[in-house]
Structure formats: C-alpha cells, structure tokens
C-alpha cells in the first residue's frame, strides 16, 4: 500500500478474531509455523492478508531509513489519538524517565518473596518456642 493520511485503510482490515489466545481468538504462531498458509486459510477465512509487500528507499533517507523532511512549523501534526506528535514524544520520554527510577516487576516480586520468607521464619521460631515452654510446664 501507500502511506496515506489517517487510519481508514487500517480500520478496514478484519479484526474480528482479535489477538492470539488467551487474549483473543486469532491465529497462533506454532500452527502458522507448522502448517503455514493452509492453517490461516482453513481456520481464519475472514482474515485479511497482504499479497505483496515491498520497501522503497528514497534519496535523502539516512541509514535508519528515516526521510529527511523539514517540518512545517505552522502546521501541527496530529496522530490518530488526537495528540500532537510532539506531545506524544514528550509524554513517552517522561514515562521512560519515570520507569528508569522504579524497580522492575521481577525486582518487586523478589523483595516480596524475601519478606515473606523472613515472616514465615519468625512464625516458625515463635511456634517452636511456645511449644517448648508448654512442654516445660507440663513436666
């Protein structure tokens, strides 16, 4: 396809299957790899697909493929979510900076697990001491 303004073409693609399980009812990677196109055609007949895809490099593109186009300062570019592209980039940068200072989910789980182990050891030691005291009193 051609790059066009808006999301009209994307919205026209069939999305009824959703994502792959467990998030939706779409195709799974394993069967696609094993059975190929036959799996898609038999199990997902409504799914849209690309017949051909090609990449065209333009003069003026840098090594990453970005085209050197100067922005028109009078015209603000709005993405599909109603946010200017500049505002979206600033928000993403802020979110990235915020996430760098916080612990990852795995680190948090490790801290909780360590705290739980210490708590259980405390309960175990307390229970043994209470049992020993009761044993002394009954003799």
Residue 68 is assigned to a structural domain of this protein: no
Residue 34 pLDDT = 93
Examine the domain organization and report whether 20 and 42 are in the same domain.
yes
Same domain, 88 and 111: no
Same domain? 98 vs 111: no
pLDDT value at residue 121:
95
- For the chain, what is the domain count? 3
Tell me, yes or no, whether 112 and 90 share the same domain: no
Helices (H), 29-104: 29-35, 37-43, 85-101
Grade residue 135 by pLDDT with cuts at 50, 70 and 90. confident
User: How far apart, in whole angstroms, are the C-alpha atoms of residue 27 and residue 57?
Assistant: 32
pLDDT band at 16 (very low <50, low <70, confident <90, very high): confident
* Residue 64 belongs to a domain: no
Mean pLDDT of 78-88: 60
Range of the domain at 90: 74-102
Q: Is residue 66 part of a domain?
A: no
Q: 75 pLDDT band (50/70/90 cuts)?
A: very low
Q: Supply the pTM of this predicted model.
A: 0.35
């Amino acid at each position: 396809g051609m790059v066009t303004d808006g999301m009209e073409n994307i919205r026209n693609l069939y999305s009824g299957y959703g994502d792959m399980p467990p998030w939706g009812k779409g195709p799974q990677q394993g069967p696609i790899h094993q059975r190929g196109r036959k799996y898609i055609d038999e199990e997902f007949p409504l799914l849209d697909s690309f017949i051909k895809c090609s990449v065209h490099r333009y003069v003026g593109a840098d090594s990453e493929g970005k085209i050197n186009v100067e922005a028109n300062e009078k015209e603000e570019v709005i993405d599909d979510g109603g946010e200017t592209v500049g505002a979206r980039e600033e928000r993403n940068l802020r979110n990235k900076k915020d996430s760098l200072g916080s612990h990852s989910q795995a680190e948090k789980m490790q801290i909780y697990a360590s705290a739980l182990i210490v708590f259980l050891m405390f309960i175990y030691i307390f229970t043994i001491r209470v049992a020993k005291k009761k044993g002394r009193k009954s003799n």
